[in-house]
Chains A and B, each alone.
Chain A
Amino acid sequence: MEKSNGKTGAVSRRTFLKGVTGAGLTGAAAALTGCKSTGKPAGGTGWTPQQYNVPENWPVQVRGRVPIDPENPSIVRDDKKCILCGQCIEACNKVQSVQGYYELPIKDDITCVNCGQCSLWCPTAAISERDDVDKVITALKDKNLHVIVQTAPATRVAVGEEFGLPPGSIIEGKMVAALKKMGFHGVFDTNFTADLTIMEEGTELVTRVKNALAGGHGGGEGGHHAPMALPQFTSCSPGWVKFCEYFYPDLLEHMSTCKSPQQMLGALAKTYYAKKKGIDPAKIVSVSIMPCTAKKFEAARPEMNSAGIKNGNAKMIDVDYALTTRELAKMMKIFRIDLTTLKDQHYDNIMGEGTGAAVIFGTTGGVMEAAIRSGYFLLTGQNPPELLFNLEPVRGLQGVKKASLNVPGVGELRVAISHGLGNARVLLDQLREDKKNHREPRFHFIEFMSCPGGCIGGGGQPRTALPPSDAVRQARLDSLYTMDAKMYKKRLSHENKEVQQIYTEFLGKPNSELAHQLLHTKYTDRGSQLTAKKKA
């Protein structure tokens, strides 16, 4: 290829002069170009990580980063802090099986289940949650507003880490005290609605199981009001729900119609609680403290306005702000509250009671164990035998767990559990295959959690050593089981007094019409927002 300008100064000047002769500029041009050396070319004064500094196009172990939509309600990234280490891709691809599991070109969406695992893996915290702390503080300062807060099970065994306590420190009472000190008008426990979830989801499961026993076939056909497909999937992990909507929309009939505990409490705060306390629901600001970044996405889902619809204002949403455990710690520090020095306090009445069954929602296998305890009751009318209070096969950090138990009058109830979305695919692909071949369902009930370890390992939890380690997850998880076995007075969701009360005073019975309006939801087929890769 011919170059109009050569490589060296001399050639350059010659060609240049050739170009300008005839215009009488020769002298001037010579003066301008002078006899200088070229000096250094621009650029190239910085660095890139080592794996990128090799000749040619060799494959490397980690490359690039996950895409993050600037509109993402859960996570944001600060480019200034990104060192292109590729850890976010490791989390998203290897742990969550999201990045790399859809074809390019993309459609009209940056595929993300909002789980926030990338924010835990990112070594510089370039990726973090969308920070809503200021908005909550502003609401707290507004004397016209009634700001309430709920705290998820897993927060109480993790927030202490942000104050120098060892992983798994149980800090429930002090966390409640801190929230009261910050000025929240009601401090409620998501455990309350976790117990409520068990009643709703357990009743739903019993209906599906009885339907199957009566010879009704799964699949929800035949004009049933609610889907009847077995196995039933848990629906409390919003990252998991979005994952299913994206990659397995054909299986959405298996998803329990129950909202997550966060959304149940949100819907009840602006209806039941508002009514009981005589507060204008429009004045209530509902905040949640969650171990999870996907909860921000969930709270912003357009259908999460049941209380609003009930109150005749569709714009009113059930949960106004979902903060992560990390944001809670930050907020305490802004208020200069040293969590460790506070005296324990109790959650407020009406929506503040929780059982051991609820607190273990925060770990993988916990929802299952809680559901089995109360499901047994719902099916047989009797409390479960002692054995079911420590259901070892569903506990622990193994990626996929399976168990079966005999329920009198029903027979064998088979359950499975997975955490980390990569593991979910094992069970989901198997189910798809079984359905294609018209096989009987292997399981009646499957618990899916988006994050490794369940919520205790959620994307909004305190950052840990890199990569997030099982030792920390185990410590947090052990503490939840300790609380269940030793600290909480009750271990059965259906024995929660406030849950019983809300049914007598407000909801009627589980899965009632009102319960359906406020506590159940529907899902969105997101299959058309991406081209899921075919299984290899």
Chain B
Amino acid sequence: MSKAVLVDVTKCYGCGACTVACKLWNGKEYDDAKKPTVGEKAQLTDINWTVVSKHKVTDASGKTVWRFAKKQCLHCEEPACASSCLVGALRKTEEGPVVYYPDLCVGCRYCMIACPFGIPKYEWDKSFPEVSKCQMCSSRLAKNEAPACVSVCPNGVMKFGDSEQILKEARATIASDKRYIKHIYGEKEAGGTAWMYISDQPFEKLGFKTAVKNQSLPEYTWKIINKIPAALVVWGGILTGVYMITNRRNAVKSSKNNENKGGKS
């Protein structure tokens, strides 16, 4: 059964617990000075799989108010990133997450270009970089646990459940409460995503890409791949060679990384 998350932007007070949960669970580094996870400057980066961006908007009475929007990979039903990946390093699972397998990745970064939301990031700072993005806590979902960020939220901003149920709830909420705008972001965007949002503010004011096409993108992506010149394929072959060497080193390095986890502060 495919899972989904509904984010209610109106309930978030910007505590950032979700961003910390993500870092704790996924062993990501902290860099509050250069890569803040909460606030006006917060942006998804290689180490920030999720951020809470702050927006100054106007409420119904014309007063300036703050809204916080919890952002991460939207986990498309038909993900362009996965379709664009030549080696299947990005895969949509039946539970809902679009999962990245670093061992398969050749580092071509097509996914970054393909994603209509600009989600996948690249670990430019590392000598053996990987693509980096929210996994929707696939290993927790496998145990029927909610994603880490969802679990820790003190305000129940995020609801986790079966996608049909979640969509029903979203519809019911915006129908019954007139404060909400009549739009479920993620219901149709890019053909539908596993993470959906409801809000009392227009989504473009909260930093969401609203120009995204409503139909799914893979079809469109195939067209791009059809046009990939032969030279690129050769380049891909070379990358594979390079990859086989780096993969070894990565394996060594990642075991070292594991030893360090938790000790970083």
Contact = CB atoms under 8 A, between A and B. Distances in A.
A7 B14 contact: no
Interface stretch (A31-39, A167-175, A246-254, A350-358): A31-39
B100 A41 contact: yes
A33 B88 contact: yes
A47 B64 CA distance: 38
Q: Considering residues A29, A52, A66, A68, which has the most beta carbons from chain B within 10 angstroms of its beta carbon?
A: A52
A12 B26 CA distance: 25
Interface stretch (A54-62, A228-236, A339-347): A54-62
B214 interface: no
A155 to B, nearest CB: 30
A53 to B, nearest CB: 6
A104 interface: yes
Given A47-B24, A48-B148, A106 B13 contact: yes
A52 B151 CA distance: 6
Interface stretch (A74-82, A315-323, A384-392, A480-488): A74-82
A52 B26 contact: no
A63 B138 contact: no
A33 B9 CA distance: 40
A324 to B, nearest CB: 22
Contacts of B240: 31-32, 34
B242 interface: no
Given A5-B79, A5-B92, A19-B83, A42 B17 contact: no
Interface residues of B, number: 92
B146 to A, nearest CB: 6
Interface string B113-139: 000000000000000001010110111
A164 B190 CA distance: 62
A333 B160 CA distance: 50
Chain A contact residues, majority secondary structure:
loop
Q: Considering residues A1, A43, A47, which has the most beta carbons from chain B within 10 angstroms of its beta carbon?
A: A43
A22 interface: yes
A403 interface: no
A105 B100 CA distance: 35
Given A7-B93, A80-B265, A43 B139 contact: yes
A445 to B, nearest CB: 36
Given A38-B103, A46-B26, A106-B65, A64 B222 contact: no
B109 interface: no
A43 B65 contact: no
B17 A33 contact: no
Interface stretch (B168-176, B181-189, B205-213, B225-233): B225-233
Contacts of B261: 45-46
A107 B26 CA distance: 32
A11 to B, nearest CB: 9
Given A4-B83, A9-B88, A104-B11, A79 B30 contact: yes
A290 interface: no
B111 interface: no
A39 B86 contact: no
Contacts of A106: 13-14, 65-66
Q: Considering residues B24, B27, B64, B135, which has the most beta carbons from chain A within 10 angstroms of its beta carbon?
A: B24
A84 B226 contact: no
A56 B144 contact: yes
Interface in A230-287: none
B151 A46 contact: no
Interface string B14-31: 111101110111110010
Contacts of A32: 86-87, 106, 236-237, 240
Nearest to B258: A45
A4 B225 CA distance: 15
A42 B140 contact: no
B102 interface: yes
B101 A12 contact: no
B253 to A, nearest CB: 14
A36 B233 contact: no
Interface string A1-32: 11111110100110010011011110011011
A211 B134 CA distance: 66
A312 interface: no
Contacts of A1: 2, 77, 163
Contacts of A47: 24-25, 262
Interface in B203-251: 216, 218, 222, 225-226, 228, 230, 233-234, 236-237, 240
A43 B26 contact: yes
A65 B66 contact: no
B82 A46 contact: no
A381 interface: no
Contacts of A110: 13-14
Nearest to A100: B154
Contacts of A19: 83, 222, 225
A70 B139 contact: no
B104 A36 contact: yes
Interface string A406-432: 000000000000000000000000000
A63 B132 contact: no
B92 A3 contact: yes
A43 B138 contact: yes
17 contacts: A3-B78, A3-B94, A4-B78, A4-B218, A5-B92, A25-B228, A38-B103, A39-B103, A41-B138, A43-B137, A45-B261, A55-B144, A64-B152, A67-B13, A104-B10, A105-B65, A106-B14
Interface of B: 2, 9-17, 19-21, 23-27, 30, 32, 37-39, 49, 56, 59, 63-67, 77-79, 82-83, 86-88, 90-94, 99-104, 106, 130, 132, 134-135, 137-140, 143-146, 148, 150-155, 159-161, 163, 200, 216, 218, 222, 225-226, 228, 230, 233-234, 236-237, 240, 258, 261-262, 264-265
Given A48-B151, A63-B152, 19 more contacts: A4-B83, A13-B88, A16-B88, A28-B236, A41-B139, A44-B139, A57-B146, A66-B15, A79-B20, A79-B23, A82-B20, A84-B17, A89-B154, A104-B13, A105-B11, A105-B12, A106-B13, A106-B66, A107-B65
